[in-house]
Amino acid sequence: MSAEFTIIKNGPVKITGKFVLTGSDGKHLSVEGEEVHLCRCGGSKNKPFCDGSHQSNGFKG
């Protein structure tokens, strides 16, 4: 497996490539395709995935 992680300014972490995403309970999370955006702001209602909340909650990072 090979994945690339990109920190998006004031936004999520973009992961592309081949990867397995495992939750804190040890179960694999379903990911369609080879790209996902993970929340960094803590405001997503679809954690761990980004739902765009960073655009309205003032997240800087």
**pTM of the complete model:** 0.89
Q: What is the pLDDT of residues 7-52, one digit of tens each?
A: 999 999 999 999 999 999 999 998 888 999 999 999 999 999 999 9
Q: Identity (one letter) of the amino acid at 33?
A: G
Query: 2: which 2 tokens?
Result: 């090979």
Give the burial class of 21: count Cβ atoms within 10 A of its Cβ; 0-12 exposed, 13-18 middle, 19 or more buried: middle
Peptide bond preceding 48: is omega within 30 degrees of 0, i.e. cis?
A: yes
Q: Greater confidence, 5 or 61?
A: 5
Q: Which pLDDT score is estimated for 32?
A: 81
What residue ranges define each of the domains in the chain, with the CATH number in brackets?
1-61 (3.40.5.90)
Q: Which residues pair with 7 in a beta bridge?
A: 13
Query: 39: which 2 tokens?
Result: 């929340």
